[in-house]
A and B are shown apart, each in its own frame.
Chain A
Amino acid sequence: MALLKYESQVRPPLVVGDKDYHQVTEDICRPVEARPSTLWWIGFIISVLMLLFGVVSVTREVWFGTGQWNLNKTVGWGWDITNFVWWVGIGHAGTLISAILLLFRQGWRTGVNRAAEAMTIFAVMCAGQFPIFHMGRVWNAFFTLPYPNTRGPLWVNFNSPLLWDVFAISTYFTVSLLFWYAGLLPDLATLRDRAKEKWRKMFYGITAFGWTGSTKHWQRHEALSLVLAGLATPLVLSVHTIVSFDFATSVIPGWHTTIFPPYFVAGAIFSGFAMVQTLLLVTRKVLNLQQYITIEHIEVMNKVIVLTGSIVGIAYLTELFMAWYSGVKYEWFAFEQNRVNLSSPYGWSYYIMMGCNVLSPQIFWFRKMRRNLYVTFFMSILVNIGMWFERFVIIVTSLYRDYLPSSWSTYYSPTIWEVGFYIGTFGLFFTCYFLFAKFFPVIAAAEIKHILKKSGDNYKEQMTVVEEESVDQFVHDTAH
């Protein structure tokens, strides 16, 4: 027993059922090694169709120009930037789970981190599409990079938040991908060594990079994971801070506030956890992984949702208060007339945002609700609708009434191709997720094995003996 890290009996087990190391491998590799189910094919085909619709929408936008969208003189940012911020925000929960909870030594992250990190990568891929295609002349997108050119060389403006975004999002994507793949290596090696078919041996042989499980390699792997987590933690905060700078550093009433960075980060984690819930509730059911993604995991994530939802609620009220208290009449007009006023053109969106993000998560103060899968699933969808409307409210209600009332008349609503682009990113996201769930282990098997003997259901029993002896005796016995 001396080798086991002490863990209290009060903590519920993270792995349910009578498991040993081999059983963990079997359970996690089974969905990968089995033939795809009918349900998988249906989901995958729907996703691909959505993706194709997105491709058509984007092709029209590239061919005919941004006139395919209903953006106008005042509303220069509409659905596209709303979707960009929404997708980036969703990605943040993955990094929070994989990096920040690793630093905080939260054992429960092991069950959900792999899928959440994958979600991060796919969400950032979707997010990146919007600013790129919003450029209009997308073939000039590389102008955002500081490369030596024949125009001077004319460099990019390093003082601009939009350029900070280019660096932040690309760094975030790269680091998330590296972190995720480094964690995947040992599990891909497991799949490689179990492979029977030739193509599997080849595919996992190539992707596992020749991983052996040598102790020295594990030592370096642990060091790498820890430092990458340490880097990803400030990175994830910086990314959404910089996204919020896109708004906060401008002088548009409704955007020009210092509360934006923390408010955006909390909102990002809030919506990201909701998306993790949506994905994992389905994944655990379809892949039969309820013993690894337990009701305890769901409950913990619901607690995070109620916490971050309340932070977001305070942020909404604070910015509303400050708009009034500052005495700036343009700022107050943006809030009072464009948002709070229900009879204003977009007043309805403000109340959808408030209802979905602030009121509805409060249901999670009740334990029974936190542990109800149907409520959780419904809430996860509701929160993401609410968070989409938050970005819509911030962008559109601040823009549609500018300083010149004669340009107020146009009501901005998206065209089918604008909506199609958004649907297309859903297609991209779910196509990637379905492929990931089919070809990669959705749970980090090595990490589950690492915590199995201190948090596994059948091993916790054995540790009761430790609990009964005095602490002094325990320390004496376990000291080297």
Chain B
Amino acid sequence: MAIKKFVVGCFDDEQVLFPAVKNVRKAGYRIHDVYTPMPIHGLDAAMGLRDTSLHTAGFIYGIAGTTTAFSFITWVFTTDWPMNIGGKPFFSLPAWIPIMFELTVLFSAVGMVLTFCYLCQLAPFVKKDHFHLRATDDLFVMAIECTDKTNETEVSQFLSNIGAIDVTTQYKETGWWLGRYDKETQLFGKPTEAVS
């Protein structure tokens, strides 16, 4: 929970945005984040973000599902309540494959979605500060965090030069809190009292 100061540049074309991201990073400014209305392939790499490990998590959840199904059915049919069905073996693995497969998929999908929501802090009644309402419509919004040493006007000027159509300075909360979008939430501390 910290209110910080940002210089926010809005771009309306991804072909301007890509060189802009590179230029900003070359100039040594720290990009807080870029908000886009749709996924832009390669932007994460351009921003220097590492690849996500969500796939690995999904694989582990899947294995957990297979193991759960296999061990549980084995325990039920060989130890807890073995049933003699026409003299067939208690350990009848081929007949368990469908349920093992379904639980693999179920664990993997549910686990991944929950992990995704946890990592991205997504949940009902979660509220976050937004830099620009059109970031979910047609603008690519780049937020650069200001520190004590940052020269605000210089950054604004720089962003305009590299193609931003609109540059503003904003005080924003970086985390999330419980709240509703139809209600104004009074956060701790006034924006003017924040670090500058």
* CB-based contact B40/A221 at 8 Å: no
Chain A contacts with B in 158-184, Cβ cutoff 8 A: 158-159, 161, 163-164, 167-168, 171, 174-175, 178-179, 182
In whole angstroms, how far apart are the Cα atoms of A335 and B96 in the complex?
32
Stretch at the interface among B102-110, B146-154, B155-163, B186-194: B102-110
Type the 1/0 row for B37-54, where 1 means its CB is closer than 8 Å to any CB of A.
111111110010101101
Chain B contacts with A in 12-39, Cβ cutoff 8 A: 14-15, 18, 33-39
In whole angstroms, how far apart are the Cα atoms of A198 and B182 in the complex?
6
* CB-based contact A178/B109 at 8 Å: yes
Closest-by-CB residue of B relative to A204 is B181
**B9 on interface, CB distance cutoff 8 Å:** no
Closest-by-CB residue of A relative to B21 is A215
Chain B contacts with A in 127-162, Cβ cutoff 8 A: 127-128, 130, 133-138
In whole angstroms, how far apart are the Cα atoms of A446 and B44 in the complex?
17
* CB-based contact A219/B52 at 8 Å: yes
Which B residues lie within 8 Å of A235 (CB)?
Answer: 102, 105
Closest-by-CB residue of A relative to B81 is A155
Which B residues lie within 8 Å of A213 (CB)?
Answer: 35-37, 135-136
Which A residues lie within 8 Å of B105 (CB)?
Answer: 171, 175, 231-232, 234-235
Which A residues lie within 8 Å of B126 (CB)?
Answer: 209-210
The contact of B134 among A193, A202, A218, by CB within 8 Å, is A193
Which A residues lie within 8 Å of B125 (CB)?
Answer: 206
Which A residues lie within 8 Å of B135 (CB)?
Answer: 193, 212-213
**B117 on interface, CB distance cutoff 8 Å:** yes
Q: Smallest distance from the beta carbon of B97 to chain A beta carbons, Å?
A: 9
Q: Are A193 and B138 also in contact (CB < 8 A) when A175-B106, A186-B38, A212-B130 are?
A: no
Type the 1/0 row for A120-147, where 1 means its CB is closer than 8 Å to any CB of B.
0000000000000000000000000010
* CB-based contact B121/A167 at 8 Å: no
Q: Are A193 and B127 also in contact (CB < 8 A) when A25-B138, A174-B109, A450-B38 are?
A: no
Stretch at the interface among A222-230, A375-383, A384-392: A222-230
* CB-based contact A182/B113 at 8 Å: yes
Closest-by-CB residue of A relative to B116 is A224
Closest-by-CB residue of B relative to A192 is B181
* CB-based contact A238/B102 at 8 Å: yes
Q: Are A228 and B102 also in contact (CB < 8 A) when A194-B137, A210-B127, A223-B55 are?
A: no
Chain B contacts with A in 70-111, Cβ cutoff 8 A: 72-73, 76-77, 80-81, 83, 85, 92, 95-96, 98-99, 101-103, 105-106, 108-110
Which A residues lie within 8 Å of B137 (CB)?
Answer: 21-22, 25, 190, 193-194
In whole angstroms, how far apart are the Cα atoms of A446 and B80 in the complex?
51
Q: Smallest distance from the beta carbon of B178 to chain A beta carbons, Å?
A: 10
**A297 on interface, CB distance cutoff 8 Å:** no
**A205 on interface, CB distance cutoff 8 Å:** yes
Q: Smallest distance from the beta carbon of A195 to chain B beta carbons, Å?
A: 8
Total interface residues in chain B, CB < 8 Å: 69
* CB-based contact B38/A447 at 8 Å: yes
In whole angstroms, how far apart are the Cα atoms of A205 and B38 in the complex?
19
Closest-by-CB residue of B relative to A157 is B83
Closest-by-CB residue of A relative to B134 is A193
The contact of A201 among B52, B176, B181, by CB within 8 Å, is B181
The contact of B122 among A179, A193, A209, by CB within 8 Å, is A209
* CB-based contact A209/B133 at 8 Å: no
Closest-by-CB residue of B relative to A231 is B105
Which B residues lie within 8 Å of A467 (CB)?
Answer: none
Q: Are A216 and B37 also in contact (CB < 8 A) when A167-B102, A201-B182, A210-B123 are?
A: no
**A211 on interface, CB distance cutoff 8 Å:** yes
The contact of A222 among B39, B80, B99, by CB within 8 Å, is B39
In whole angstroms, how far apart are the Cα atoms of A195 and B181 in the complex?
10
Which A residues lie within 8 Å of B96 (CB)?
Answer: 158-159
* CB-based contact B99/A212 at 8 Å: no
The contact of B98 among A3, A221, A231, A242, by CB within 8 Å, is A242
* CB-based contact B136/A193 at 8 Å: yes
Which A residues lie within 8 Å of B36 (CB)?
Answer: 213, 215, 218
Which A residues lie within 8 Å of B103 (CB)?
Answer: 167, 171
**B112 on interface, CB distance cutoff 8 Å:** yes
In whole angstroms, how far apart are the Cα atoms of A304 and B26 in the complex?
50
Which A residues lie within 8 Å of B72 (CB)?
Answer: 146
* CB-based contact A209/B123 at 8 Å: yes
Closest-by-CB residue of A relative to B120 is A217
The contact of A215 among B33, B80, B136, B180, by CB within 8 Å, is B33
Which B residues lie within 8 Å of A190 (CB)?
Answer: 37, 136-137
* CB-based contact A164/B98 at 8 Å: yes
Closest-by-CB residue of A relative to B124 is A206
* CB-based contact B98/A219 at 8 Å: no
In whole angstroms, how far apart are the Cα atoms of A336 and B14 in the complex?
65
* 23 contacts across the A-B interface (CB closer than 8 A): A3-B14, A21-B138, A22-B138, A146-B76, A155-B76, A158-B96, A168-B98, A174-B109, A174-B110, A190-B137, A193-B135, A209-B126, A210-B127, A214-B35, A215-B35, A215-B44, A216-B120, A220-B52, A221-B116, A221-B120, A227-B54, A449-B38, A450-B38
14 other contacts beyond A194-B137, A210-B123, A211-B122, with CB at 8 A cut-off? Answer: A158-B77, A158-B95, A159-B96, A178-B113, A192-B181, A193-B135, A198-B182, A201-B181, A215-B47, A220-B116, A220-B119, A221-B120, A228-B112, A231-B105
The 7 tightest CB contacts between A and B, nearest first, are A205-B181, A21-B138, A210-B126, A201-B182, A209-B122, A449-B38, A202-B182
Q: A-contacting residues of B (Cβ < 8 Å)? A: 14-15, 18, 33-44, 47, 49, 51-52, 54-55, 58, 62, 72-73, 76-77, 80-81, 83, 85, 92, 95-96, 98-99, 101-103, 105-106, 108-110, 112-113, 116-117, 119-128, 130, 133-138, 176, 180-182
